[in-house]
Structure 1
Amino acid sequence: MSVSPFEHPFLSGLVGDPEIAAEFAVDAEIVAMLGFEAALAEAEAAEGVIPAGAGQEIASRIKAFEPDLEGLREGVARDGVVVPTLVSQLRSEVGEALAGHVHFGATSQDVIDTSLSMRLSRVLDVLGARIDALAGLLATLSERYGDIEVMAHTRMQAAIPVTAARKIRSWRDPLLRHKSRLAGVRESVAVLHFGGAAGTLDRLGGKGQAVGRRMAIALGLTAVADARHSERDGMADLASWLSLVTGSLGKMGQDIALAAQSEVGEVKLASGGGSSAMPHKVNPVGAETLVTLARFNATLVAGMHQAMVHENERSGAAWTLEWMLLPQMAVACGAALGTASRLVDAISFPGKDDA
């Protein structure tokens, strides 16, 4: 056991996803935060908010900047967020002449939320591609075994014979619906968070929207009229979608585990988990993992809805809760999609093979 099975040296082999987890690693977060600061300086210089040459010079210095991680750790323990210490270190790096132009008019939440938006956009690219790949595998499975007759079960009791194609459609069709929902989820999440101290950009002298538009283009995000510091429906929308995906995969995993039971035998696993006591067993580990990850995300999504309750213009408590929950949900979804593809690749319907 460990605090995080997703990063555990061997438990991560079951539920981890290095590709998704990498977007929540410290290196990726720092690169994205510094990308925000560089884009801010260049946009403000272009709009005349700071001197014309300051933007490019700050952006150039940022490329060579390596923060003191221990200092950042101490800063978070004190301030609750990493940005005050990060900005202080960055100002020391650029020198006194430019220090006052770094982070000008922005606030910590602008940096942290935009950094997350940038990384979540890449996460959604990966998850969308994996849904497409899994849907393709299920279509191939149906083409090969779809005419095999299997038993339908209602309330865990045998009902009437149906085709395997009907079973497979109940696994594939929800994925297609989740993929169609993805564009709306991306629209909710891939936005620039830029509002300054209380969402008004008051220090930018009426140029806040123009600066924001330039930043959004540079960072590959969408500019919105008002900062969403305390409006967390977009993050909750993402969390709900992640749980829907893992929930549908959990349903598929449950079906496969039941069909693969020795006394049922409607599905055969080409490979599975071994037993230390019973070497004849082929345990449906992948199918079971899908059920576990579905239940895990279904539990955490409630916490993400709790994290929507921000008081006034910013909440430290609700915001921190979001940091604890959302990365785990994203990794769980990525792991579930990867596991599902490997599982589908390894199953057959013996009825056709035996014919």
Structure 2
Amino acid sequence: MSNDASPFSLLLELYPAPQMSQALSKDRLVEHWTAFEHALAGAQARLGIISPADAEQIRSISAESINQEDLWETSKNVGYPILSLVRQIAGQLPDGPDGRVHFGTTTQDVMDTAQALQLRDARDILAAQVSRIGDGLTRLVAKHSKTAMPGRTHGQQAVPTTFGAHLAPLLGELSRTRSRLHVCREAAATVSLYGAGGTSAALGSQVREIRSLMAEELGLHSDDVSWHTARDRVVEVAQVCMILAGTCARLARNVIDLSRSEIAEVFEAAGNHRGASSTMPQKANPILSEGIIGMSAIIGPLTASLGRTMEMPQERSAGEWQIEWHVIPQVLQLTSSTMAAAEELLDGIRIDDQAMAKNLTVDGGLIMAEASMIGLADELGREHAHDIVYAAAQAVRSTGTDLATAIGAQLEASGNAGRVTIPGPEDYLGEAAQMCESAIGAWAETGGA
């Protein structure tokens, strides 16, 4: 039996994203906090604020030397973990350098900088996942740019489209979000060093140089305006995650819908007992798609809760900051898990183009009703043509006749008898193929993001 008493998430167990889990781990967070103190001491030594010898000793204290059991227990009393961290670092130093740890800074500086490092690393993980998903979509869009299938609106057949054109909007959305992800990563990866009230008073006249040197060492950006209470950049990262998860959820929703027994055009990967039911032997449930939708549905409300962080009063939070402590790791982990599932889904997706072709003929061929109306509109006018085809559609459904025959009967009855020619679905695809090309081109253009 496991001795881990932490809450168990069945979602994250079944849909893991281990790289993100590692980036968000307690050990990694303590490393980031320690790295802040190292960078601060190093920058202050370079500017003559503390001695190089003191800085060297501070920087020699590793994150592995921090007693985490004591760290977390002490933090329950203090309310924040940095006092305990600083005292543990100082406690391992001799007189002199022990008094130079955390010199002039404050808890939020350490924690916000660590979060900036987390967001930077998380963005890189997500960006790699976006690239793999986009590449998978690109291959499908290119392969199926001319694979005709029923287009559906309001859950019903509408006009013909292609499977490539069906996926192209997803690829376009992903291209835009890859750019968004790049922008928010650059903004959020910003060092914090502003002291107790955001004025940097305790850090002295060289604070801007200290901040810049720290940013250089940590691989972050520097901003000379405090962001202790300005949380827009953090919120933006979560919003981009929500958009990414939403894109994956739409893909998953369409796979579920198109894998219905009555449609049977698209399926998840096959496998022994994959998606099996405990009681219905015939079932092969779309388990990846279901997980994607479930996780995406959680990310939205979590992200919405971050709106409260924008309310931070005066110069420091009065409880709003704590929202981030729980929500940001959850959003990042769930987003990465969602995308890992979407990547697996695309890798194993199965397309039945014969079923797509067959489904174009169901409902008496009424999927070509708009094409028939447009064909008659030049001669009859659009509204009259609409009425003719509408009446014909009712006849197709009530009598079982075909669309061309029904339209011919309606034309004759209205005194407009003539031969009716209805194009085939493959001849009424509009700019489906060109749309696929445009989506693929847009994805290629964001490749450097």
Give yes or no for TM over 0.5.
yes
Matched residue type, 1:249 = C
Do the aligned partners of 1:49 and 1:204 also contact (CA within 8 Å) in 2?
no
Which residue of structure 2 lines up, in the alignment, with residue 58 of structure 1?
58
> Which residues in structure 2 correspond to 1:155-304 (within 5 Å)?
155-271=154-270, 272-304=274-306
Q: Distance in 1 between matches of 2:242 and 2:7?
A: 20
CA distance in 2, matches of 1:64, 1:153: 56
Counterpart for residue 41 of structure 2: 41
> How has the CA–CA distance of structure 1 residues 65 and 127 changed in structure 2, closer, same or farther, with 3 Å as cutoff?
closer
Q: Select the residue among 323, 341, 344 that pairs with 1:342.
A: 344
The one-letter code of the counterpart of 2:93 is V
Task: Give the whole-Å Cα distance in 2 for the aligned partners of 1:219 and 1:316.
Answer: 28
Tell me if the contact between 2:238 and 2:331 (Cα under 8 Å) persists in the aligned partners: yes
Query: Structure 1 residue runs of 4+, over 4 Å off?
Result: 352-355
1:105: which partner in 2?
104
* Paired amino acid for 1:273: G
User: How far 1:107 moved relative to its partner?
Assistant: 0.3
RMSD value, Cα: 1.9
1:14 deviates by 2.4
Contact 2:11 2:291 in 1 (8 A): no
Shift of 1:351: 1.5
Question: Residues 348 and 7 from structure 1, CA distance in 2 versus in 1: closer, same or farther, beyond 3 angstroms?
Answer: farther
Structure 1 stretch displaced more, 32-41 or 18-27: 18-27
Distance apart, 1:38 and its partner CA:
0.5
Deviation larger for 293-302 or 238-247: 293-302
Alpha-carbon separation, structure 1, partners of 2:155 and 2:9: 38
**In structure 1, the residue corresponding to 2:92 is in which secondary structure?**
helix
Change in Cα spacing, 1:64 to 1:155, as seen in structure 2 (3 Å) is closer
Q: CA deviation at 1:70?
A: 2.2
Worse-superposed segment, 303-312 or 123-132 = 303-312
Name the SS for the 1:185 alignment partner: helix
Deviation at 1:163, TM superposition (A): 0.5
2: CA distance between counterparts of 1:286 and 1:7? Answer: 23
Structure 1 residue aligned with 2:70: 71
Q: Percent identity?
A: 29
Contact 2:255 2:268 in 1 (8 A): no
Distance in 2, Cα, partners of 1:303 & 1:285: 28
Paired residue for 2:374?
Answer: none
Q: 1:65, CA displacement in angstroms? A: 5.5
Q: CA deviation at 1:9?
A: 7.4
Q: Distance in 2 between matches of 1:140 and 1:7?
A: 40
In structure 2, C-alpha distance between the alignment counterparts of 1:208 and 1:64, rounded to whole Å: 25
Larger Cα Rg: Structure 1 or Structure 2? Answer: 2
User: 8 Å contact 2:255–2:267 — kept in the other structure?
Assistant: no
* Residues 35 and 133 of structure 1: CA distance in aligned 2, closer, same or farther (over 3 Å): same
Q: What letter is aligned with 1:41?
A: A
Name the amino acid aligned to 1:19. Q
Residue range with higher mean Cα deviation, 314-323 or 64-73: 64-73
In structure 2, the CA distance between the partners of 1:13 and 1:146, relative to structure 1 (3 Å rule), is: farther
Structure 2 unaligned residues grouped into runs of 5+:
1-5, 358-449
CA shift for structure 1 position 261: 0.7
Match of 1:153 in 2: 152
Letter of the structure 2 residue corresponding to residue 230 of structure 1: T
Asked whether the equivalents of residues 136 and 347 of structure 2 are also in contact (C-alpha less than 8 Å), the reply is: yes
The answer on whether the counterparts of 1:145 and 1:352 sit within 8 Å (CA) in structure 2 is no
Task: Please tell me whether the aligned partners of residues 75 and 85 of structure 1 are also in contact (alpha carbons under 8 angstroms).
Answer: yes
TM-score, normalised with respect to structure 1:
0.94
In the TM superposition, residue 157 of structure 1 has moved relative to its aligned partner by: 1.8
How far residue 16 of structure 1 moved from its aligned partner, in angstroms, is 3.0
Q: Residue 308 of structure 1 aligns to which amino acid in structure 2?
A: M
Q: Distance in 1 between matches of 2:332 and 2:310?
A: 18
- Counterpart residue identity of residue 193, structure 2: F
Deviations 1:103-160 (A, max 9, x none): 0001000111101111211110111111111111111122333322221111122211
Partner of 1:144: 143
SS in 1 for 2:160: strand
1:188 aligned partner, one-letter code: A
Question: Which residue is 1:16 aligned to?
Answer: 16
Q: Which residue of 2 aligns with 1:25?
A: 25
Deviation, 1:291, is 1.3
The partner residue of 2:314 within 292, 312, 315 is 312
User: What secondary structure sits across from 2:100 in the alignment?
Assistant: coil
The alignment of Structure 1 onto Structure 2 pairs a total of residues equal to 350
**Distance in 2 between the 1:218 and 1:249 partners?**
36
State the alpha-carbon separation in 2 of the partners of residues 38 and 47 from structure 1.
14
The AA in structure 1 aligned to 2:107 is S
C-alpha deviation, 1:10, in angstroms: 5.3
Kept in 2, the 8 Å contact 1:188–1:237? The answer is no
Q: CA deviation at 1:55?
A: 1.2
Query: Secondary structure in 1 aligned to 2:320?
Result: helix
**Which moved further from structure 2: 10-19 or 305-314?**
10-19
Counterpart for residue 3 of structure 1: none
CA shift for structure 1 position 329: 0.5
In 2: Cα distance, 1:197 partner to 1:162 partner:
60
Amino acid across the alignment from 1:91:
A
- Secondary structure in structure 1 of the residue aligned to 2:276: coil
Q: Distance in 2 between matches of 1:264 and 1:29?
A: 48
For 1:278 and 1:146, locate their aligned partners in 2 and report how far apart those are by CA, in whole Å. Answer: 36
> Secondary structure of the equivalent of 1:96?
coil
Contact 2:184 2:237 (C-alpha < 8 Å) held by counterparts: yes
Structure 1 SS opposite 2:40 = helix
